[in-house]
Amino acid sequence: MGTWAAAARMGRLVGTRTQRQWQEGNLPAEATELVGRQTELAQVRGLLAESRLVTLTGVGGVGKTRLALRAASEAQPVHPDGVWWVGLSDLRRGTLLPLSVAEVLPLAGQSTRPVIDVLAEYLAGRELLMVWDTCEHLVDACALTAEVLLRAAPGLRILVTSRRPLSIVPERQLTVAPLPVPGPGDAVARSGAAGAGDAVSLLVARAAEAAPGFTVTDANRSDLVRLCHRLDGLPLALELAAARLRDLSLTELTNRLEDRFSVLGETEKAVYDADPPWHQALRTAIGWSHELCTPAERLLWARLSVFAGGFDAAAVRAVCADDRLPEQALPGLLRGLAEKSILSCGRVSNGNSEGDGERYGVLDTVREFGADWLRGLGEKRTLRYRHRDYFLALALRADAAWIGPEQLSWYERMTVEHANIRATLDFCLADGDARAAQEMGGALWFLWYACGFAKEGEHYLDRALALDSGPGPVRAKALWSRGIAAFAQGDTKTGLRLAAALREAAAGETDESVPVAAAFLEGTSLTLSGRQTRAAEVLDTVPGTRPTGGRYPAAWLLARGARAFAHFSLGQFADAAAVAEDVRATCARQGETWLRAYGDYLRALAALGLRQAEEAAAHARTALDGKRRLHDSLGTAVTVDLLASASVACGRAERAARLLGLAQQIWNTVGTPQIGSPELIAARTACEEHIRRQLGDDAYKTAFQAGYDNDAETGIAYALSLDPPSRFPP
């Protein structure tokens, strides 16, 4: 259930743990009451006590995910480091599995080390449960990853849902069966509960939701039992059937479903006969729901199967509308599919009017049926291209608007669409479409850099660039984006190599933003590798005024920020302050948040160099607030480090020690400490030494540990406070 994973990611603070996350993880809310499954829950508890890897297997629609969610919720008290939900239904590349796990915990992919190694190290001393939901298409990758992590982390347990087991030691498997159906002589209570059998209980509960007031009566008892028998107690089939009670009586529903079974074609019978009988029931229930849809609803259902993770009305209009599905008809069709329980829906708001409104999702099994239907219609490739075109255009628009007042909205929107972005890039690479893959990967530089997905940017851009090495503006932008992903992970050698490749690929360009982009990439890589004088020379080639237009709208501000840092590194603090103030003012005029916070950070650095400690602390707090709002874990980590240095310079050594502890906690989720920068490493070391001299080793360790142990939400609030309390609140 990829939308749950996205929702969990959207709710996190600065890419690190809050106390509630530390204790509880990121489990999605249970949308409906679990009916039955008490025996299975007890079995899962027992298996988790015996083994650190438990897999719930069973056919689609049998309720593996629902059972795992309740079992995981009940397991929270015995896992002090949380219970973490990793939805994998939308992930198509097994190589991205470690990244998906890291994002959920969350660990930012901003280290050159293999993600699996970072994960293993992070988990080694923790006691937590992870749920990997919907793994059947990634069995090999899940098996390999589970083996490595379980070996490295004795306190880790993994609960898997899959149609196939992982088949590794020490896996224990529980096959989830359909819900029990009452026998001929069993009683069915009016509540549908006691003595009714769990299948009837579920059907009655969902029927009451679809048709308020529905109850068990003497007249409908036999139809209830007959329907449950016909659907073999399969939960999803029962829920789909119950949704039809808005329009049909129970007798009509049961009779129509009986007719559906009796008129199966020979091809359908052959398919059903090859599967367990309850799979036939699910296929029949979905197929029957499909038949009860209007032709337009059926066509839309098929076309919606190209989306991953979810979609909004704007995406549906762009991807699915044509002469057969007019745009004006889509709202009613979406509403009809939601009423039939084919779609789920919820409201989202991110401050961007186009992205606000209802967001829809589809259960995996229902999506698979739609995808099969789409293939039969011969429309699969057409819809895949429409999907590609829409999300490529969305990425280009986000790039163009990133430096501006809607930046936070675009951050939220592109994070919500992460599964669709991945699906688009995967399709482009599989289709050999180097241009589209490079264009999209280049436009998403901000996702790789500002939003903490640098390792993922490396994954996609390396493949896109390998598809076609021909020069041109599209490849040049992809090289730039890949270089940014490199230095964001501390890989300055790759950053320098790609800066040279960018200049070569863009040779002869008249776009004035190209040399600025190249200077930023080269200058930043030089700065982070300690070559400050050369970095300053490169960055001094950037003009003092911003070029108009061009394909790199953010490059000038980025380069100016890099120049301010180079000034600071060379001890030119007044010059650093002047350039940083210019960056801040420009961003403020444009309503930009991310780089403005970086400007505040640079202003704080310069103030510290000028021995203006209180001013440095004030600028650092302002920077931290901006980084917090954008969930920028890397920016948060470096800013808390800086705030610690400012605090000790202000004479608040205990506060500084607590802030260093908080910063260390955040760095543990980011990757390479201090991004590998010699200046940042030296500054942190000097800060620690200064604190130890003021407090003594024992007091330093106590305060540092207090900062490290507290949750990030409380810690960030403490860091932002103007007149901090003497200790973290309990």
pLDDT digits (tens, 9 = 90+) for 95-122: 999 999 998 887 766 667 888 998 998 8
pLDDT category, 347, cuts 50, 70, 90?
confident
User: Residues near 277 by Cβ (< 8 Å), separated by ≥ 6?
Assistant: 232
Q: Is residue 337 predicted with pLDDT exceeding 60?
A: yes
pLDDT of residue 11: 29
pTM for this model (two decimals): 0.84
Q: Which pLDDT does position 129 carry in this prediction?
A: 97
User: Of the ranges 179-188, 364-373, 601-610, which one carries the lowest mean pLDDT score?
Assistant: 179-188
Same fold, 293-378 and 404-570: no
Query: Does the structure show a pLDDT above 80 at 17?
Result: no
Mean pLDDT of the chain: 86
Cβ pair 159, 72 in contact under 8 A: yes
Fold of the 404-570 domain: 1.25.40
Task: Judge whether 216 and 182 are in contact, CB under 8 Å.
Answer: no
Percent of the chain with pLDDT over 70: 88
**More confidently predicted of 161 and 504:** 161
- Reported confidence tier of residue 303, pLDDT bands at 50, 70, 90: very high
**How does DSSP classify residue 110?**
B
Strand order in the sheet with 156-161: 83-87, 128-133, 156-161, 53-57, 172-175
- Asked if the model's pLDDT at residue 516 lies above 80, the reply is yes
Residue 35's SS3 state is: coil
How confident is residue 18, by pLDDT bands cut at 50, 70 and 90? very low
pLDDT band at 279 (very low <50, low <70, confident <90, very high): low
Q: How many Å apart are CA 595 and CA 303, to the nearest integer?
A: 39
The stretch 145-162 carries a mean pLDDT of 97
What is the pLDDT, as a whole number, of residue 286? 83
Distance (Å, whole) CA 620 – CA 603: 8
- Where along the chain do its domains lie? 2-175, 198-291, 293-378, 404-570, 617-720
Query: Which of 96-105, 262-271, 528-537 shows the lowest mean pLDDT across its residues?
Result: 262-271
Q: What is the reported pLDDT for 187?
A: 53
Give the residue-averaged pLDDT of 587-595: 92
Structure confidence at residue 577 as a pLDDT band (50, 70, 90): very high
Q: What is the largest CA-CA distance in the chain?
A: 89
Q: What is the pLDDT of residues 226-247, one digit of tens each?
A: 888 888 888 988 888 888 888 8
For the segment(s) 2-175, the CATH number from 3.40.50.1370, 3.40.50.300, 3.40.30.10, 3.30.360.10 is 3.40.50.300
pLDDT digits (tens, 9 = 90+) for 625-649: 988 887 778 888 899 999 999 999 9
Q: How many Å apart are CA 315 and CA 290, to the nearest integer?
A: 23
Q: Is residue 605 scored above 90 in pLDDT? A: yes
Whether domain 293-378 has CATH 3.40.50.300: the reply is no
